[in-house]
Structure 1
Amino acid sequence: MPLQRLDSLSAISAQQWDSLVPVAQPFLRHGFLSALQDSGSLGPHSGWQSEHLVLVENGQYLAALPSYRKWHSYGEYVFDHEWANACERAGIEYYPKLLSAVPFSPVTGPRLLAARVEDGLELLAALPGYLELEGLSSAHINFTDAQADIVLGQQPGWLQRLGCQFHWQNREYRDFQDFLDALSSRKRKQMRKEREQVAGQGVEFEWLEGQQVTEAQWDFVYACYANTYAVRRQTPYLTRDFFSVLAERMPESIRVVLAKQGSTPVAMAFSLIGGGSLYGRYWGCLAEFDRLHFETCFYQGMEYAIAQGIQRFDAGAQGEHKLIRGFEPVITHSWHYLRHQGLKAAVSDFLNRERVGVLAYAQEARAALPYRQA
């Protein structure tokens, strides 16, 4: 059963690819991944070259691993820079490597796409030989779901790495006030004050679905997104065309909230929706307002999730400031296959020690949650 490489998703129809995606996960759909490449957000110039691996039998696609050949480790959110630096000092070639992940987005989900488990196992079994043939140092599969963890945990040579994110869970709240009632008195007052500060500046909010966003509004969305990089003197990962291409291919999955002062938009948050989750991805503002980030990126999403009956709100990768707003620590998993045996042994030792710290950090973080104690 041959393992084949797709350098572009244009080589496979959206129907064929999406039939392998096991859940309604928008980041793995043909429309999202192809929009990244077709918009120029990905490519050799960016250090991300599409290299999707598929198993094909009699013209039928049986399994796929959405993946990229990488010449650096930026935009991955599972940081292996120290591994690469150690390799450079030791004279070991770490790049290029193979990465299976959603580019520029630390979102958990399926990675090994297959209708049958045995087909996915067949693809994984062929992967070490592919790495050797292609001269790739390693394979990395980031932010896996529980099913992928089970499969990868049974494969020889793979090392598991733990991380920690913060997600908000909708416990069938009737409205935002019902959520506030679940918090301690001090935290409840703090959130109310933050929201009142934003409202007191004359800022109101408008939610739009993908098909409702005009090109002029996409210009504004991109300007805000790009500004978050400009203030750090960095180049944005995504191009302006990405947003228009994605809106054409997956409008039903897009949600944009615009923060407006009067009729003038001043900030935005861009999200995708699917599989019972709201994924807050990009944010930006063109004017500074006190507490506007918390309202636009967190409270608006939580309120929208409650109103729409969405179970989970994943607002991105970073950190502790989410805890006091009700986002709970969630352990994430990634898997790493390293061909160099000396590097593998050193990384394995590091991961064993790191795992203890990550689990302790997550446990300690739970103590900072704002919910009333039973």
Structure 2
Amino acid sequence: MDSSEITLEAVSSVSQVPAADWDACANPAVPADSIHGLDRLASSDTADVSCAGSKAPYNPFVSHAFFSSLEASGSAVARTGWGPRHLLSRLDGEIVGLVPCFLKSHSQGEYVFDRGWADAYERAGGRYYPKLQASVPFTPATGPRLLIRDGMDRERVGTMLAAGLVALCEATKASSVHVTFAPEAEWKFLATHGFLQRTDQQFHWHNLGFGSFDDFLATLNSRHRKAIKRERREAVANGITIHALTGSDITEDAWDAFFAFYMETGSRKWGRPYLTRTFFSLIGESMAKDVLLVMARRNGRWIAGAINFIGSDTLFGRNWGAIEHHPFLHFEVCYYQAIDFAIRRGLKTVEAGAQGEHKIARGYLPQTTYSAHYIADPDLRRAISDYLRRERAYVAEAGRELAEHGPFRKTDEPS
């Protein structure tokens, strides 16, 4: 493909991109025998940006419907500090690649923390904001960030998108570009284009082909197995019933209740919750099949709930809230119900969101997450590069230590 045929542009709303074009880049089906340019990088000294396989996994967070709901609801818009600047790559007028991107005036709602960088730069006389954020707002879930249409020369389009992010940084007078919660392959690829590498840690549950929740429990050591059974019993001991709602079962009444939980819990944790009530109605209209709403009920009313999003191989846990607090109810609604659902659906992984070492005792193991950062100022770039080198070593060592203390049964322990 001749690079002169490719053009780049930034648009200020997802509504300026046809849904069919966006989704053809965001969630392309990859035939089993299809090997693209970026796949070949895996055997070189650089990196693979895509996953070779029978089909690229569906990720609901990069869909047109999800971004449209964020923007149309007023959740991720310039007024809230998330000004859309989605980067598009065209070949002969057709959109062949894109990066969801936002021009930001703060560092809130990202879950990859750079406020220390901003403070240090501004104390030295620099201006850290605006910055560019290539991510899914308010969503600490790994997924593709360089979205490329199936059938394209992925290495060439990916290179153009990486260069386009740097050019957009200059054009908007931003201090930096932050590509967060990217797949490891994209992280390595962006490093070859001048982006600094950062790691962090989450806790994910992995399905080893379990046929039931009891099959999963059988892999745990006796102490943790008994503790989980006790927690599940006590979570519903006060006349509480648990309801897993998907699709048309999620009514506006359920959304009203969940939003009340979200606002109550979010106000205590963050000061100002990010998502509007309209956002939940919009995803209920456009992507209800991708939503699992786990709700707890007592004395005829909803009292707690957690929202999850369903991918083709992963269940993504997102927000939790409650207006009544009962022992272990949070663990039941957020973690154990998610495992149960993943087993029934045959999903490979449950991503339980950001942070939380307490998840290890519930069967969720450390998982490295990846972000890539382009820093325009060379002095700031050198300082951050040195910091990230030490941070990556710390994250790797912490992950190894935490994994050693997992709840799983040793081979010589009786089941």
TM over 0.5: yes
Aligned to 1:348: 385
Any idea what SS the aligned residue of 1:200 has? coil
Matched residue type, 1:151: F
Q: Which of 242, 260, 267 matches 2:297?
A: 260
Matched residue type, 1:190: A
Aligned to 2:240: 203
1:313 has 2:347 as partner: no
Q: Distance in 1 between matches of 2:292 and 2:336?
A: 15
Aligned to 2:131: 97
CA displacement 1:75-111 (0-9 Å, x = unmatched): 1111001000001100011100001111011100110
Q: Distance in 2 between matches of 1:122 and 1:234?
A: 39
Matched residue type, 2:116: E
CA displacement 1:118-167 (0-9 Å, x = unmatched): 11211212332222122111111001113312421322x21000111100
1:126 has 2:131 as partner: no
- Quote how far apart the aligned CAs of 1:233 are: 6.7
What's the TM-score once normalised by structure 2's chain length?
0.88
| Structure 2: gaps of 5 or more residues | 1-5, 29-56
Mapping for residues 268-279 of structure 1, pairs under 5 Å:
268-279=305-316
Aligned to 1:141: 179
Q: Which of 4, 13, 18 matches 1:13?
A: 18
Q: Distance in 1 between matches of 2:238 and 2:405?
A: 29
Residues 204, 60 of structure 1: CA spacing in aligned structure 2 closer, same or farther, 3 A cutoff? same
Aligned to 2:360: 323
Question: Contact 2:87–2:165 at 8 Å: present in 1 too?
Answer: no
Indicate the larger mover: 129-138 or 13-22.
129-138
Any idea what SS the aligned residue of 2:20 has? helix
Q: Distance in 1 between matches of 2:390 and 2:262?
A: 37
| Structure 1: gaps of 5 or more residues | none
- Quote how far apart the aligned CAs of 1:330 are: 0.5
Q: Distance in 2 between matches of 1:309 and 1:211?
A: 21
Q: Distance in 2 between matches of 1:47 and 1:230?
A: 18
- Quote how far apart the aligned CAs of 1:232 are: 3.8
Q: Distance in 1 between matches of 2:195 and 2:184?
A: 16
CA displacement 1:176-213 (0-9 Å, x = unmatched): 11111111111111111111111322211111113221
- Quote how far apart the aligned CAs of 1:218 are: 0.8
Question: Contact 1:25–1:274 at 8 Å: present in 2 too?
Answer: yes
Any idea what SS the aligned residue of 2:145 has? coil
Q: Distance in 2 between matches of 1:198 and 1:259?
A: 10
Aligned to 2:336: 299
Q: Distance in 1 between matches of 2:404 and 2:140?
A: 24
Q: Distance in 1 between matches of 2:119 and 2:291?
A: 38
- Quote how far apart the aligned CAs of 1:257 are: 1.1
Q: Which of 218, 222, 229 matches 1:192?
A: 229
Q: Which of 286, 291, 307 matches 1:249?
A: 286
Matched residue type, 2:110: E
- Quote how far apart the aligned CAs of 1:231 are: 2.7
Matched residue type, 1:174: G
Aligned to 2:79: 45
Q: Which of 76, 83, 88 matches 2:110?
A: 76
Q: Distance in 2 between matches of 1:92 and 1:171?
A: 50
Q: Distance in 1 between matches of 2:284 and 2:166?
A: 37
> How many residue pairs align between the two structures?
373
Any idea what SS the aligned residue of 2:236 has? helix
Q: Distance in 1 between matches of 2:128 and 2:203?
A: 31
Q: Distance in 2 between matches of 1:170 and 1:262?
A: 34
- Identity among equivalent positions (%) equals 40
What's the TM-score once normalised by structure 1's chain length?
0.97
Matched residue type, 1:184: N
Q: Distance in 2 between matches of 1:303 and 1:44?
A: 39
Q: Distance in 2 between matches of 1:188 and 1:282?
A: 26
Q: Distance in 1 between matches of 2:269 and 2:378?
A: 38
Q: Distance in 1 between matches of 2:332 and 2:67?
A: 29
Question: Contact 1:64–1:120 at 8 Å: present in 2 too?
Answer: no
- Quote how far apart the aligned CAs of 1:262 are: 4.4
Matched residue type, 2:232: R
Mapping for residues 274-285 of structure 1, pairs under 5 Å:
274-285=311-322
Question: Contact 2:221–2:407 at 8 Å: present in 1 too?
Answer: yes
Q: Distance in 1 between matches of 2:96 and 2:269?
A: 43
Q: Distance in 1 between matches of 2:352 and 2:114?
A: 23
Indicate the larger mover: 195-204 or 184-193.
195-204
Measured on the aligned residues, the alpha-carbon RMSD in Å equals 1.2
Please list every run of at least 4 consecutive aligned residues from structure 1 whose deviation after the TM superposition is greater than 6 angstroms.
none
Any idea what SS the aligned residue of 1:183 has? coil
- Quote how far apart the aligned CAs of 1:174 are: 1.5
Residues 308, 190 of structure 1: CA spacing in aligned structure 2 closer, same or farther, 3 A cutoff? same
Matched residue type, 1:348: S
